[in-house]
Amino acid sequence: MRRFLKQVGYFRSYTHNGQWYTARDSPRFDRDGLWHFKGIGFSKQGSLTRTLAHLIARSPSGLSAGELSQKLQHPCHAVLTQLHQAMRPCAFTRLGVAALGR
């Protein structure tokens, strides 16, 4: 199965610890690069960490943890805390939530 997925290209879910896969041509991503199917989230960016960094970097005024969770339809507080502790600062913050870039 993995060999087939590698040949056709695929995305792994950023929800459910990456347990779900979809063929590269299946998703219809929204303007944020997100696609949800039966409660499973996929992102053009791949992982939850990369997706968070992408969403924050493209937001001119930043995003709060709640706004990100709502967009992703998935909690992200723990990953934001890990990113913050890893000291990956960027140029803006909002509501006291550090916005993290690349």
What phi, psi does 29 have (nearest 5°)?
-70, 145
What phi, psi does 6 have (nearest 5°)?
-65, -35
Please tell me the predicted confidence (pLDDT) of residue 8: 85
What phi, psi does 2 have (nearest 5°)?
-65, -35
Q: How far apart are CA 63 and CA 72, in angstroms?
A: 12
Rounded CA Rg of the chain = 14
DSSP assignments along 22-71, one per residue: EETTS----TTSEEEETTEEEETT-SHHHHHHHHHHT-TT---HHHHHHH
Type of residue at 9? G
Q: What is the pLDDT of residues 10-58, one digit of tens each?
A: 999 999 989 999 989 999 999 999 999 999 999 999 999 889 988 988 8
Q: What is the pTM of this model?
A: 0.77
